[in-house]
Structure 1
Amino acid sequence: EEEDIRSLPLPSELKSRLLGAGLCLVRHCLLTPPAELAARLGQPLDQCRRMQLTVRDALARCTNDGGGGCGGFRLPDTAETLLLDVARSRAVPSMSASVDRLLQGGLSLCQLTELAGSAGSGKTQLCMQLCASVQLPAALGGLQGGAVYLDTEGSFSPRRQAQIASGLLLHCRRLADRMRQRRLPPGDDDDGNGVEGGGDGGDGPLTKEHLKALNEVSSLTVEQVMSNIYYFRCLSHVQLCAFAHESLERFLVGHPHVRLIVLDSIASPFRYEFDNAGQRNRQLAELAALLTRLAVSCRLAVLCTNQMTTRFGLTDAADSRVEPALGPSWCHVCNIRLVIERLEGGGGGGGCEDQRRRMRVLKHPAVRAGSSAVFQVCAVGVRDAFQDDVS
């Protein structure tokens, strides 16, 4: 059975335009070369490419195979399509310009990211910051989406989450006031901790999109931010896997605005509850495959925190090193791997030495391994520690 274009959740204007050109089936729209589609619709080539991507997204939303198939029809991916997907993808901002620069804009959508660190390194603090900042309007660097928080360690603090949300809204309102006074677009503010970062800027007109975003932020409340974070407590690997495989996808279908899934942490239920390493690795691989599929099909970011463990040398204790837990079977399934550590004393100034953290890249498709950025965890959440702190 072939999928009719009218069955997809598309804007009525787009449906009418496609049907008027005789493109009644999904495959007709998606397999027609963009140049031919532009000629049939009388539209610019770039607009037709974006139109095909919109149809692809809508089709992926109504399927369960993660590959965009429907009724046995599987969408082909071309290098051009993938490049356009990357170019138009946004990321979840961290509220630290240095971290966002390091990660090429923030926490990547359609990717499974591991965030490893020792106890007290700030993993949960960063997770809660991302749950708040993902809700910012697009014009201010956010995704205007919700977040799902899967807590396996009981480390989530609603009081702290509200404090971070309050700090984010206060920062954005101050930024909005400066933008109105100076009439600058968001990226041109001189605050190093701006939503999208940025340096010095001159005068410039505010667009309708910017004005709308400013009004949205001004009216946003802590309660609204908190109500967009969906919390699930998972006490064991059995509960976690059952929820992930049986309920998570259904929940996302009912909440299509979700743009972030946080699993804090992946290590807690899998590190100590298994005697059989093979069984543990199979369940880990199945869970990772599910989360990756949901990240791609729902166009959201997935962040899994991990603990650190000591790996002893075979012959010499000096060869021992601290590394993320769960071994190579887990690390190979993550698209992006990050480690954060607490920095003790020295530099920074302003009394923030004990709050400073370093994020280091272990694996990233677009960033050199070993690259790092310094940020701080303070009362209002994650912020830059000082200027020019990307190395």
Structure 2
Amino acid sequence: MPRLDSPGLFSLTPKILADFAAEGILSVEDFLLAHNPNLDESRTEARKQAVVDILGYIDRQSCGFRTSARMLQEIEARGERYLPTGCESLDKLLEGGLREGTVTELVGGSSSGKTQVCMQVAASVAYRCRAMVGFVDTCHSFSATRLSHMLGGLVGGRDAVQRRVGAADEIGDAMKSIMHYSIFDIFPMLSFLNQLHTTLSVQVQSMEEKVMRLLIVDCASSVISPILGGIPGHALMVSMGIILKKLALENHLAVLITNHTVGGEGGHPKPALGETWKAMPSVRLLLARDFSSNLCHATVMKHTSMACNRHAAFQITRTGLRPVF
């Protein structure tokens, strides 16, 4: 934590700093642990101003953290918005789809369907919402051909006349709305995410008609796992998680990420990246696939507003995900 004599806190004169030091308060962390607003009521105006400035400094450094009251006001002002996944059973499980402003994580083993779900969601948002989609590919999993087939399945759901006329143009327009990025290392990833945050902030402020509403990272663990094992690697992992949450919250963006599984107790698979990463997504779904029937199951492992262990089923077909009820 910063010291109290950090640049910019001009009200902290040598005398005020000496008073704080006498109370064992040398850093912002010490202040947070020791501060009781009632204790400052009888202090001098200089002391009161110093406390106000420290609290303001903490607020500026809090990276967009909000009180629950402020968050509720913002939600009521803009309304809860959900992006359709393109699969009815998944939308029903998530009570509407991917919620903007949050991070959703898909956890599963190899070939469990994580990438298929990501591409179906990308196709659905680009076509149905007419919005921009960012698709960050970290393991060569993205397929433009597969994406076009899924878009064809969505366009094919309309009436016969519309299917015959203009379908190819609609697919082409949706494909142009999905921006593909290949990133295979944590440092380019952090650089990209920071630059994207700056770009999206400008778009939101300028009220551009077509902005990015969905960011997909497939797969987060591919760039994080190689650098784990020490304090620097852990710090980089936390940095990536924090900026993903900040991107979602401050730009009203739905973020969808994928994560591998590793062996857990009793041989049962568990999400990779450990307990610290568990705090990053607001929603975590576990995907499992039965290859004999090609049936996939999605189970809620974590959700901020619903009970865990709820299930949804779907099949992976040539033209997308087919819900199973």
TM-score, normalised to structure 1, is 0.60
**CA drift at 1:378:** 0.5
Q: Measure, in 2, the Cα distance between the counterparts of 1:242 and 1:294.
A: 13
Alignment of 1:93 onto 2:84: yes
Conserved? CA contact 2:130–2:174, under 8 Å: no
**CA drift at 1:250:** 3.2
Classify the secondary structure of the residue corresponding to 2:180: strand
Residue 156 of structure 1 aligns with an amino acid whose one-letter code is F
Conserved? CA contact 1:131–1:229, under 8 Å: yes
Q: Measure, in 1, the Cα distance between the counterparts of 2:169 and 2:252.
A: 24
Conserved? CA contact 1:67–1:75, under 8 Å: no
Conserved? CA contact 1:149–1:263, under 8 Å: yes
Spell out the pairing of 1:154-173 with structure 2 (5 A cutoff).
154-173=140-159
Q: Measure, in 1, the Cα distance between the counterparts of 2:120 and 2:181.
A: 17
Alignment of 1:324 onto 2:241: no
Q: 1:259 aligns with which of 201, 204, 213?
A: 213
**CA drift at 1:83:** 5.5
Structure 1 residue ranges without an equivalent (≥5): 1-63, 69-73, 137-141, 178-214, 314-318, 346-352
**CA drift at 1:114:** 0.9
Conserved? CA contact 1:118–1:341, under 8 Å: yes
Alignment of 1:130 onto 2:121: yes
Aligned residues with identical type, % of pairs: 27
Q: Measure, in 1, the Cα distance between the counterparts of 2:162 and 2:88.
A: 18
Conserved? CA contact 2:126–2:175, under 8 Å: no
Conserved? CA contact 2:216–2:256, under 8 Å: yes
The equivalent of 2:283 in structure 1 is 336
The equivalent of 1:310 in structure 2 is 263
Task: Give the ranges of 4+ consecutive aligned residues of structure 1 lying more than 4 Å apart after TM superposition.
Answer: 74-80, 173-177, 217-220
Alpha carbons of structure 1 residues 151 and 83: separation in structure 2 relative to 1, 3 Å = closer
1:296-317 superposed Cα distances (whole Å, 9 cap, x missing partner): 1211100110001002x4xxxx
**CA drift at 1:328:** 0.4
The equivalent of 2:233 in structure 1 is 280
Alpha carbons of structure 1 residues 85 and 371: separation in structure 2 relative to 1, 3 Å = farther
Structure 2 residue ranges without an equivalent (≥5): 1-60
Say how many residue pairs are matched. Answer: 259
Residue 113 of structure 1 aligns with an amino acid whose one-letter code is T
Larger Rg: 2
1:123-150 superposed Cα distances (whole Å, 9 cap, x missing partner): 11111111111134xxxxx433110011
Classify the secondary structure of the residue corresponding to 1:135: helix
The equivalent of 2:8 in structure 1 is none
Q: Measure, in 1, the Cα distance between the counterparts of 2:138 and 2:246.
A: 21
The equivalent of 2:105 in structure 1 is 114
Residue 162 of structure 1 aligns with an amino acid whose one-letter code is S
Classify the secondary structure of the residue corresponding to 1:222: helix
Alignment of 1:150 onto 2:89: no
Q: Measure, in 2, the Cα distance between the counterparts of 1:220 and 1:174.
A: 16
Alpha carbons of structure 1 residues 132 and 81: separation in structure 2 relative to 1, 3 Å = same
Conserved? CA contact 2:228–2:234, under 8 Å: no
Q: Measure, in 2, the Cα distance between the counterparts of 1:365 and 1:76.
A: 13
Alignment of 1:236 onto 2:190: no
**CA drift at 1:279:** 2.1
**CA drift at 1:382:** 1.4
Residue 238 of structure 1 aligns with an amino acid whose one-letter code is F
Alpha carbons of structure 1 residues 327 and 80: separation in structure 2 relative to 1, 3 Å = closer
Spell out the pairing of 1:340-359 with structure 2 (5 A cutoff).
340-345=287-292, 353-354=293-294, 356-359=295-298
1:5-55 superposed Cα distances (whole Å, 9 cap, x missing partner): xxxxxxxxxxxxxxxxxxxxxxxxxxxxxxxxxxxxxxxxxxxxxxxxxxx
**CA drift at 1:272:** 2.2
Q: CA RMSD in A?
A: 2.9
Alpha carbons of structure 1 residues 132 and 65: separation in structure 2 relative to 1, 3 Å = farther
**CA drift at 1:77:** 4.2
Q: Measure, in 2, the Cα distance between the counterparts of 1:335 and 1:384.
A: 24
TM-score, normalised to structure 2, is 0.72
Classify the secondary structure of the residue corresponding to 2:130: coil
Alignment of 1:249 onto 2:197: yes
Classify the secondary structure of the residue corresponding to 2:199: helix
**CA drift at 1:280:** 2.1
**CA drift at 1:236:** 1.1
1:312-359 superposed Cα distances (whole Å, 9 cap, x missing partner): x4xxxxx332111001010112111111110244xxxxxxx22x1000
1:176-223 superposed Cα distances (whole Å, 9 cap, x missing partner): 79xxxxxxxxxxxxxxxxxxxxxxxxxxxxxxxxxxxxx9x9795211
Q: Measure, in 2, the Cα distance between the counterparts of 1:77 and 1:176.
A: 47
Classify the secondary structure of the residue corresponding to 1:285: helix
Conserved? CA contact 2:126–2:178, under 8 Å: no
The equivalent of 2:301 in structure 1 is 362
Q: Measure, in 1, the Cα distance between the counterparts of 2:123 and 2:290.
A: 25
